[in-house]
Chains A and B, each alone.
Chain A
Amino acid sequence: MKSADGRIEDAVLDRRLAALERSAEPPPEAWNRVRAATIARRRFGRPVAVAASLAAAAALSLFLLAPPAVPPGSPGPSAAEQLVRAEVRAMQRLAPMHTAAESLPAGTDLAAALEENRAAIEGLLTALEADPDNRLLLDFLADARRRQARLINRGVALNHETRWKS
């Protein structure tokens, strides 16, 4: 119904506004994005409570960072091993050792934290395959990589301390 000036009347507009859809399913991939972002955030934010595996973490960092003991005549390190070492070196450049040692709470279970963070990185990479330009996921991935660097450096620092004391 229209008024004298040809415009629709207020009551008609109100009825049409009231009849608009109030509920609609988002696309299915929206939940995948939310899930990746929230689970990743929980993994980064959750305090690691039990200090049970510091020695394991130190051993891990020692394995990753020790120069390869290559007997004469044997083949060089595998491609996977080279990749791991390159990754560790890149992470070390990202987070200086003194910062790493200060920024993690005392009693952090490094092995568990490393494993949890690694799983988070994998989850983010999977989510990014479906949505490569998602800024939020990219930010989380950067956070996860920085955290991984801190964890590794913390393990290295502890390993040095242990060796100096022994």
Chain B
Amino acid sequence: MKADPSFPEAGSRSDADRLRAVVAGGEAAFESLYREQAPLLYPLLWRLAAGDRGLAEDWLQETFVRAWKGLDQLREPAALGGWMKRTALNVALADRRRKRLATVDAAPEATAPEPPWPCADRDLESAIAALPDRARQVLVMFHLADFTHAQIAEAMGIEVGTSKAQLSRARKLLKEMLS
């Protein structure tokens, strides 16, 4: 991760120290946590949001609100990064579930979404954004968040076999779109 020169302590403090400082209400420690973790979560959330930048930013905000509220329940400081990632994915998945219940699936955007960062493989980003919701979620969690199928199944409330099937479907669709 890129060090932020305005927060020199970000790379040098241990997770345990930082966690204690955040739980104690330290704004500087929380900002340092944000500066470190937000860049890792933002691309994941943008891809889960199918390239909807506003939605990804809403999810990012909600993730850190939950972190602010719930970090004191984290018993293992070394697991901080994983905890943040799970929280972000839970926020995104829960919001997607709510929207699926509330409305019919929105039509995909006519134009391919442009990633809000310098992107080396736009074709692949566009193809991921065009995947069906569940296939995209599984693909992003497996390939880009390094979740196992068991973890994906737990997070999404599906069977492990369903996760594998969705990944296979996503890869097949990607290969078709990129050919």
Question: Which residues of B lie under 8 Å from residue A42 when comparing CB positions?
Answer: 25, 68
Further 19 A-B residue pairs, CB within 8 A, beyond A34-B64, A37-B64: A7-B179, A8-B179, A13-B178, A19-B120, A19-B121, A20-B125, A21-B117, A21-B118, A24-B43, A25-B38, A25-B117, A26-B38, A31-B34, A31-B38, A33-B57, A38-B30, A42-B68, A45-B69, A136-B61
Report if A26-B42 is in contact (Cβ < 8 Å); known contacts: A7-B176, A13-B178, A31-B34: yes
Q: When each residue 24-57 of chain B gets 1 if its CB lies under 8 Å from chain A and 0 otherwise, what string results?
A: 0101001100100011101100100000000001
Bound state CA distance, A88 and B20, in angstroms? 39
- For the complex, is B104 an interface residue (Cβ under 8 Å from A)? no
A126 to B: closest C-beta gap in Å: 16
Contact status B116-A34, CB under 8 Å: no
Contact status A23-B178, CB under 8 Å: no
- For the complex, is A6 an interface residue (Cβ under 8 Å from B)? yes
Q: Is the interface of A mostly helix, strand, loop or mixed?
A: helix
Bound state CA distance, A20 and B146, in angstroms? 13
- For the complex, is A22 an interface residue (Cβ under 8 Å from B)? yes
Question: Which residues of A lie under 8 Å from residue B64 when comparing CB positions?
Answer: 34, 37-38
Bound state CA distance, A23 and B176, in angstroms? 27
Identify the B interface with A (CB < 8 A).
Answer: 1-2, 25, 27, 30-31, 34, 38-40, 42-43, 46, 57-58, 60-62, 64-65, 68-69, 115-121, 124-125, 143-144, 171, 174-176, 178-179
Choose from B58, B124, B125, B179 the contact partner of A2 (Cβ within 8 Å). B179
A-B contact pairs, 25 of them (CB 8 A): A8-B175, A8-B179, A13-B171, A16-B178, A17-B143, A20-B144, A21-B120, A22-B43, A24-B39, A24-B115, A25-B38, A25-B42, A26-B38, A26-B60, A30-B38, A30-B57, A30-B61, A31-B31, A33-B57, A37-B64, A38-B30, A41-B69, A42-B25, A42-B68, A46-B25
Report if A27-B119 is in contact (Cβ < 8 Å); known contacts: A7-B175, A38-B65: no
Q: Closest A residue to B118 by CB, please name it.
A: A21
A10 to B: closest C-beta gap in Å: 7
Bound state CA distance, A21 and B43, in angstroms? 7
Contact status B174-A13, CB under 8 Å: yes
B74 to A: closest C-beta gap in Å: 16
Contact status B39-A37, CB under 8 Å: no
Bound state CA distance, A42 and B69, in angstroms? 8
Contact status B39-A33, CB under 8 Å: no
Count residues of A near B (Cβ-Cβ below 8 Å).
31
B124 to A: closest C-beta gap in Å: 5
- For the complex, is A35 an interface residue (Cβ under 8 Å from B)? yes
A64 to B: closest C-beta gap in Å: 31
Question: Which residues of B lie under 8 Å from residue A49 when comparing CB positions?
Answer: none
- For the complex, is A39 an interface residue (Cβ under 8 Å from B)? yes
Q: Closest B residue to A46 by CB, please name it.
A: B25
